[in-house]
Amino acid sequence: ADDGYKLWQRYEQVQDQAKLQVYRQAINELIVQGNSPTLTVAHQELQTALSGLLGQTVPSSQQVTKQNVLVAGTPASSALVKNLGLTDRLKAVGNEGYLLQTSTKNGKNYTVIAANTDIGVLYGSYHFLRLLQTQQDISNLSIASAPKIKHRVLNHWDNLDRTVERGYSGFSLWDWHRLPGYIDQRYIDYARANASVGINGTVLTNVNANALVLTEDYLKKVAALADAFRPYGIKVYLTARFSAPIEIGGLKTADPLDPQVQAWWKKKSDEIYSFVPDFGGFLVKANSEGQPGPQNYGRNHADGANMLADAVADKGGIVMWRAFVYSEDEPDDRAKQAYNEFKPLDGTFRDNVLVQVKNGAIDFQPREPFHPLFGAMPKTPLMMEFQLTQEYLGQGTTLAYLSPMYKETLEADTYAKGKGSTVAKVVDGSLDNHKLTGIAGVANIGNDRNWTGHQFAQSNWYTFGRLAWDHALSSEQVADEWIKMTFTNDNKFVAPVKDMMMNSHEAIVNYMTPLGLHHIMGWSHHYGPGPWIKDKHRADWTSVYYHKADEKGIGFDRTKSGSNAVAQYFPPVAKQFGNVKKVPEKYLLWFHHVPWDHKVNSGRTLWNELAYRYSGGVDDVRQMQKTWDNQEGMIDQERFQHVKQLLTVQEQEAKWWRDACLLYFQTFSKRPIPQDLEKPA
Ligand code: GCW
């Protein structure tokens, strides 16, 4: 069955006959010297992939016996690599980087995958395979690549009972019941997929944490997963429930300044390292949405983070402390809370702490302006947290290619150190000279046969890894690669499907939350429209709090006349966002309460523009359906039908959003829906 299990690693025979011949000629023999676990998997991957892609076995050898040789290795493991004169260039690619180089020596032609470390060789092997999978020219290679960000980590919101918080692709991959004795092939394939895009860490458990995972029985299971992932360069991390010393340690308190509590965490950490010698460290959600934390004891986030950081420091562990907090008391503007709590703590965190910040200040909305903390804590490494799982983006039925959304945040300019201080430079450490850097993606992976539920959701897993490695890649390029590897290189398919993907996020924004609207989804589950939601026990869990529609207009005033959240941005940004004439229109209602008759860029009134956006979003989904229908026969029926059916569902959902929102907002605007638009049902 062609159910998408193989992701972008299908390794089918190269379709273009001319290219196939060239590749066959260029690779007569494969030489991988060295047999560490990582080199062994690199070797296996190259063998399997090459025989698939070339449609013939490429013999492996330890010495050069053929004319055109593919060599993979490090100077330490391979005399061949050592003698190819790459030493200087290798210096520049560091611990995880690699070179892909063609060269000629003693009359033989070499294609070389060279790195300083075994994991670099594996990453380079995947890059080389990607060149073949996407039918690139390999005759004259001189590629050097190294990751821009050090920790590239998936966050699984997986519970120990295998439910997944905000998961839309089945249950958790981690089969705790059968671990540690049984290693499911899926763990290996998961690791292969991650390594192929450079993901080097995984947090196994939900940030709404269960302390049980820190007990011995579970640690044995964690160790088995870590062992399975290790050859692929993937470190395992766990979420630390702050109250664990009480719940599983029998202590009376979890106060981070209590010496007994500190000693408990140190001992616990040492125990974890006895099972997992290269354990990565902890991810913590504290004093947020009911989770316990240092504030329960009158301490602050730094006190909590530093205690855990001290417990893992001697083993090289890190702590990723989340900034997704909002106060227990009803805030005047939830968007301001994280900044208010964290900015004053800049400079007080240990060296091995990263503060993990969501891309925007509310919560993974279809579109958010960048989080004002980026740039505001120069002494603290800030880790980006993106969400791959589509909690607020239509969940399991919606085709959403999220690279444009991620890039929008990464490329946003914070002006922290003048023009050009992009969020990407904060995150990759170049703005403030941080060596410790990280990026996290809340995983969209479960035990569905195709891993992510929606076939196209695979592209977000792929994209996350690619951008974590190199955030300068364009969304078009990443989509192009993914489509070619996942479906076909035929441009009759690639070009229209790429367009469809590139427009998909904007379409969703338009039919859900155009012009800066946000958090108007269904109560609690966040699926479908719910702009009418009010009277919940917290105002900031209702929709009316966010859109503030009334007779006069709509939108959240975050300027001086309102919550003044704009003041959290650096002055050039604050000025722009705070000015109703200058704010990018996509953020208009995020920052301003705007009269219904206000003229927007198109020359329409705000009300009419809203109507056009909502309708345009629906039209875009219909266009996606047409594009997809035209592809019938270009790929296998199974995946074709899967996507087709889901697009039918998405079209209904888009209409549902349009109609619900327009009819609801119309009760305030009291204006007609423009004549030329389809009537709400
Ligand atoms: O996005 C929201 C979700 C919660 C989640 C929380 C968080 C894990 O609705 O389900 O909890 O954010 O990021 O901590």
What is the C-alpha separation between 351 and 340, in angstroms, rounded?
22
Residue-wise DSSP of 213-277: GGSHHHHHHHHHHHHHHGGGT-EEEEE--TTHHHHTT--S---TT-HHHHHHHHHHHHHHHHH-T
Residues 6+ apart with CB under 8 A from 453: 168, 169, 170, 396, 444, 446
- Domain residues of the chain, as ranges? 17-145, 177-441, 509-556+593-669
pLDDT tier at 327, thresholds 50, 70, 90: confident
Specify the CATH number of the domain 17-145: 3.30.379.10
Q: Is 2 exposed, middle or buried (0-12, 13-18, 19+ CB in 10 A)?
A: middle
**Antiparallel, parallel or unpaired: β 382-387 and 438-442:** parallel
Q: Is 420 exposed, middle or buried (0-12, 13-18, 19+ CB in 10 A)?
A: exposed
643: three-class secondary structure by DSSP:
helix
Q: What is the mean pLDDT of residues 277-302?
A: 97
In the numeric block, the tokens 């049980």 are attached to 212
pLDDT of 330:
72
Instruction: Decide whether 17-145 matches 177-441 in CATH topology.
Output: no
Is 363 assigned a catalytic role?
A: yes
Peptide bond into 180 cis (omega under 30): yes
With a 6 A CB cut-off, is 285 part of the ligand 1 pocket?
A: yes
What is the C-alpha separation between 644 and 657, in angstroms, rounded?
20
Phi, psi of 146, rounded to the nearest 5 degrees = -145, 145
Is 96 assigned a catalytic role?
A: no
pLDDT tier at 313, thresholds 50, 70, 90: very high
Q: What confidence tens digit (pLDDT) does each residue in 172-200 have?
A: 999 999 999 999 999 999 999 999 999 99
pLDDT of 299:
98
Closest ligand 1 atom, residue 387 Cα: 1
pLDDT of 17:
97
User: Catalytic: which of 29, 391, 448, 609?
Assistant: 391
What is the C-alpha separation between 10 and 359, in angstroms, rounded?
32
**CA of 530 relative to ligand 1 center, distance in Å:** 18
In the numeric block, the tokens 């989904």 are attached to 621
With a 6 A CB cut-off, is 527 part of the ligand 1 pocket?
A: no
Q: What confidence tens digit (pLDDT) does each residue in 543-567 have?
A: 999 999 999 999 999 999 999 999 9
What is the C-alpha separation between 343 and 358, in angstroms, rounded?
15
* CATH classification (class only), 177-441: alpha beta
Q: Are 434 and 151 in contact (CB under 8 A)?
A: no
Residue-wise DSSP of 92-128: TTTTT-EEEEEEEETTEEEEEEE-SSHHHHHHHHHHH
Cβ count near 50 (within 10 Å): 23
| Ligand 1: residue whose CA is nearest its atom 11 | 208
In the numeric block, the tokens 């981070």 are attached to 256
pLDDT of 602:
97
pLDDT at 329 over 80: no
Closest ligand 1 atom, residue 208 Cα: 8
Q: Are 635 and 643 in contact (CB under 8 A)?
A: no
pLDDT tier at 162, thresholds 50, 70, 90: very high
What is the ipTM score, two decimals? Answer: 0.99
pLDDT of 2:
87
pLDDT at 346 over 90: yes
**Antiparallel, parallel or unpaired: β 29-32 and 98-105:** unpaired
CATH topology of domain 509-556+593-669: Alpha-d-glucuronidase, C-terminal Domain (3.90.1330)
Cβ count near 433 (within 10 Å): 7
Look up residue 374 and give its DSSP letter.
T
Q: What is the mean pLDDT of residues 433-438?
A: 98
Closest ligand 1 atom, residue 207 Cα: 8
Best probe residue, ligand 1, of 163, 168, 363 (max atoms within 8 Å of C-beta): 363
